[in-house]
Amino acid sequence: MVVLEETGVGLTRLEEIGRRFARALRPGDLVLLHGALGTGKTTLIRVLAHALAVRDAVRSPSFTIANIYSGPVTVNHLDLYRLEDVGEEDALALEEYVTPDSITLVEWPEAGLRSLGNPQWTVHLQHQTLQSRAVRLEAETAEAKQRWETAA
């Protein structure tokens, strides 16, 4: 269910969307972020993490696969860009990040789709200009959609 679809989204508006989105997130949520390089996936994750009271600097885990941030709720930030396909051993490792007491945000999730489980949210970012992007946020469950509506 598409809960937000906007074009011409600059950095300020992306941050506003991120803060509202953070209010809709709950422990146990899995968020998949799709988009080309430079569309704002890591920026959105940074906004989400800080809105969830993470104090650490939020950086892309491109070379480490995962960064774990502590706060009132643990935020797991995965970047699967460098993985072509997730084997059985790696699948078990990925599953460890999707827990009932953490929020898991995954950039480039394609390689791990079979291993990660069903997401509550899917984000699509697409370049429009050097300074703007199209944003589509999908709630994958009725409960997630309700949370988005009350997060306004």
Give the pLDDT band of residue 67 (cuts 50, 70, 90): very high
| Residues across the chain | 152
Q: pLDDT, tens digit, for every residue of 119-147?
A: 999 999 999 999 999 999 999 999 999 99
Domain that holds residue 63: 2-150
- What pLDDT sits at residue 86? 54
Q: Report percent pLDDT > 70 for the chain.
A: 93
The Cα–Cα gap between 94 and 123 comes to: 19
CA distances for 102 relative to 43, 56, 70, 83, 136, angstroms: 20, 16, 10, 23, 23
Q: Average per-residue pLDDT in the chain? A: 92
More confident residue, 13 or 65: 13
Q: CATH no. for residue 34?
A: 3.40.50.300
| Count of domains forming the chain | 1
Span 12-22, mean pLDDT?
Answer: 98
